[in-house]
């Protein structure tokens, strides 16, 4: 029987897409979306800033306070965009453009200065400063014996069932490659320490390749080059958007990521069986009479089914759900997002490219006097990575520095002094780029506390355990727990989870 009332907890992108898909799947069911704050979107938030530019013109610039680019591979996200009619708002970045081809590292430990381009083909690798790190490690890997360690569980002779990104790259390639390449990548996606992130959760293809290649990731990737024929075929209503995305690297929207949230909000508000309630701080979810009572500050809501997209530590804080397993295992990273706007074209400010990442210092994050004193994770060249969001076109340059994560903010002025915080980081930016820069017309600092979960090794197994508990007993499969800390942090992962909610409820 179809659910009578579904409560969706949390109005971030996972909750919004859950409510959207549930309202289509169950058009006769009442769906109530409960969001604690007075806005929807969670970490997705774009803002327009007006800045003066030489000649008396006014620049209109989109700043992202959270996610800024979307990967083209997520069919669930393309489907959502199609169903919301957002096609005309899309801005794509071709894979052949300098923005996609030029991704840099800033390696303060290397002794050199400036940015190092990450090679994109064998020829560019040969002439790269990274060749001594990448070439011998990759060449040897295919000949190195299988070295997946045995499980620490003495009762079994099995191999480990998961590993950290740093460990798998170190044991297959080299510790230096793992540090320089692996840690940089994880700084860019998770703002976290690659020694702590699960390879199966964050880079399943690497784990799978190791298995398929008889221990060698290189051999496994070679075997898998034709695609994964074993993966199930799901039909998505993408309206042919895959065609538009062919040959593209990333994309966003003319009005920034907020366009996705605004379109979802409008659609939900105009859908008869959906009610959106802001400022509804969920205090508890009590299993009752084959359903749930959702406690709210003023009145309670009775629901036959619940989808929670709340951060897992918040689910743990709900008294009746605190005994659910594995809710507090994963820590969260905090990131300070610092945007700089210059009233000049980008070629006067930085090289054309996506931006740069900085690897973990050789001496670690906590060592005194390490090579990255301000704790910068990386910088995105926003005007290049997603062009033509701002007007007048090409006359302003925006860049965003991500700071914190495993470094914390101890090397910086107090976070509440945002003016000084931004000023110090502008000096850092000049040092990284190795040049004097004109003063920015706008610096925007936003501290995003506990915003990205670090999915520790064993994460997938723990989430299976949680799912099993929710499938039985007093929950009876009527409570689903989803969100960035469950099945992947990218916007595409979140939308995909929203799409899958409530599939077995009728
Ligand atoms: C700085 C930053 C940059 C990122 N960059 C990218 C990127 O470029 N590309 C990409 O794909 N991904 C990126 N991500 C990741 C992605 O944005 C997030 O993983 C995703 O937005 C999380 O969505 P969510 O709905 O699962 O969680 P959230 O956005 O955290 O939503 C949860 C919602 O629950 C609400 N809530 C909390 N407690 C309660 C309560 N008790 N009752 C009711 N509501 C409650 C919150 O207010 C919030 O609205 C980035 C994330 C950050 C922070």
* Dist CA 222 CA 170 (whole Å): 20
Closest ligand 1 atom number to CA of residue 483: 26
Report the pLDDT value the prediction gives residue 230, as an integer from 0 to 100.
57
Q: How close is the Cα of 42 to the center of ligand 1, in Å?
A: 5
pLDDT for res 228: 60
User: Dihedral (C-alpha) 21, 24, 25, 27: value to the nearest 10 degrees?
Assistant: 140
CATH number for the segment(s) 46-74+89-100+331-453: 3.90.660
The pLDDT confidence band at residue 506, using thresholds 50, 70 and 90, is confident
**361 against 111, higher pLDDT:** 361
Q: Is the CB of 34 under 6 A from ligand 1?
A: yes
Atom nearest to 40 CA in ligand 1: 49
User: What's the CATH superfamily of 5-42+257-330+456-500?
Assistant: FAD/NAD(P)-binding domain (3.50.50.60)
Spans of all domains in the chain: 5-42+257-330+456-500, 46-74+89-100+331-453
Alpha helices in 324-417 (DSSP H): 382-385
Burial of 331 from C-beta contacts in 10 A (0-12 / 13-18 / 19+): middle
For residue range 455-467, list pLDDT tens digits in order: 999 999 999 999 9
Percent of the chain with pLDDT over 90: 92
Query: If you average pLDDT over every residue of the chain, what do you get?
Result: 96
**Contact between 338 and 400 (Cβ < 8 Å):** yes
pLDDT band (50, 70, 90) for residue 330: very high
Question: Do 117 and 102 meet the contact criterion of CB atoms below 8 Å apart?
Answer: yes
Centre of ligand 1 from the C-alpha of residue 437, in Å: 33
pLDDT tier, 232 (very low <50, low <70, confident <90, very high otherwise): low
**357-386 mean pLDDT:** 96
Q: List, for residues 47-88, the tens digit of each pLDDT value.
A: 999 999 998 999 999 999 999 999 999 999 999 999 999 999
Residue 151 has pLDDT above 90, yes or no: no
Distance 229 CA to ligand 1 centre (A): 32
Does ligand 1 have an atom closer than 6 angstroms to the CB of 196? Answer: no
Q: How far apart are CA 145 and CA 155, in angstroms?
A: 25
The verdict on the CB of residue 335 being under 6 Å from ligand 1 is yes
How far apart CA 292 and CA 361 sit, in angstroms, is 49
pLDDT digits (tens, 9 = 90+) for 402-447: 999 999 999 999 999 999 999 999 999 999 999 999 999 999 999 9
Distance (angstroms) between ligand 1 centre and the Cα of 67 equals: 9
Residue 262 pLDDT > 90: yes
Residue 296 clears pLDDT 60, i.e. is over it: yes
In order, the DSSP letters of 452-464 are EE---TTHHHHHH
Tell me the best of 37, 42, 295 to mutate to test the pocket of ligand 1, counting ligand atoms within 8 Å of each CB and taking the most.
42
Res. 155: pLDDT tops 80? no
- Cα(337)–Cα(319) distance, integer angstroms: 33
Q: Do you find a cis peptide bond into 227, omega within 30 degrees of 0?
A: no
What does the pLDDT read at residue 327? 98
């Amino acid at each position: 029987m179809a659910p009578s009332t579904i409560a969706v907890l949390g109005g971030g992108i996972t909750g919004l897409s859950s409510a959207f898909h549930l309202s289509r799947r169950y058009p006769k069911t009442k769906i109530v979306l409960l969001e604690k704050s007075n806005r929807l979107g969670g970490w997705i938030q774009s803002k327009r800033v007006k800045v003066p530019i030489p000649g008396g013109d006014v620049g209109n610039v989109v700043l992202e306070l959270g996610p800024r680019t979307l990967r083209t591979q997520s069919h669930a996200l393309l489907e959502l965009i199609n169903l919301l009619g957002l096609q005309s708002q899309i801005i794509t970045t071709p894979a052949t453009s300098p923005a996609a081809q030029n991704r840099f590292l800033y390696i303060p430990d290397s002794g050199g200065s400036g940015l190092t381009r990450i090679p994109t083909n064998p020829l560019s690798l040969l002439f790269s400063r990274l060749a001594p790190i990448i070439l011998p490690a990759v060449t040897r890997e295919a000949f190195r014996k299988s070295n997946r360690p045995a499980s620490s569980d003495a009762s079994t002779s099995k191999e480990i069932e998961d590993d950290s990104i740093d460990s798998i790259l170190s044991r297959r390639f080299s510790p230096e490659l793992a540090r320089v390449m692996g840690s940089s990548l994880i700084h860019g996606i998770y703002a976290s320490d690659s020694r702590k992130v699960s390879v199966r959760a964050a880079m399943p293809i690497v784990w799978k390749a190791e298995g398929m290649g008889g221990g060698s990731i290189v051999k496994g990737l070679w075997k898998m080059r034709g695609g994964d024929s074993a993966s199930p075929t799901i039909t998505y209503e993408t309206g042919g958007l895959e065609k538009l995305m062919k040959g593209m690297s990333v994309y966003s929207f003319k009005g920034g990521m907020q366009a996705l949230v605004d379109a979802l909000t409008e659609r939900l508000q105009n859908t008869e069986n959906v009610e959106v309630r802001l400022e509804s701080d969920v205090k508890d979810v009590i299993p009752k009479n084959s359903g749930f009572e959702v406690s709210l500050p003023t009145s309670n809501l009775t629901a036959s089914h619940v989808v929670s997209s709340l951060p897992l530590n918040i689910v743990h804080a709900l008294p009746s759900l605190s005994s659910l397993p594995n809710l507090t295992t994963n820590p969260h990273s905090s990131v300070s997002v610092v945007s700089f706007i210059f009233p000049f074209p980008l070629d006067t400010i930085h090289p054309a490219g996506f931006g740069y990442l900085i690897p973990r210092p050789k001496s670690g994050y906590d060592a005194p006097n390490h090579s990255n004193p301000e704790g910068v994770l990386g910088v995105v060249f926003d005007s290049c990575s997603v062009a033509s969001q701002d007007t007048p076109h090409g006359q302003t340059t925006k860049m965003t520095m991500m700071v914190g994560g495993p470094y914390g903010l101890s090397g910086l002025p107090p976070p509440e002094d945002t003016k000084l915080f931004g000023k110090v980081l502008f000096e850092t930016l000049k040092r990284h780029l190795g040049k004097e820069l004109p003063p920015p017309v706008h610096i925007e600092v936003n501290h995003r506390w506990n915003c990205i979960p670090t999915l520790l090794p064993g994460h997938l197994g723990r989430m299976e355990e949680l799912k099993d508990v929710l499938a039985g007993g007093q929950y009876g499969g009527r409570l689903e727990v989803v969100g960035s800390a469950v099945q992947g942090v990218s916007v595409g992962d979140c939308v995909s989870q929203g799409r899958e909610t409530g599939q077995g409820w009728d």
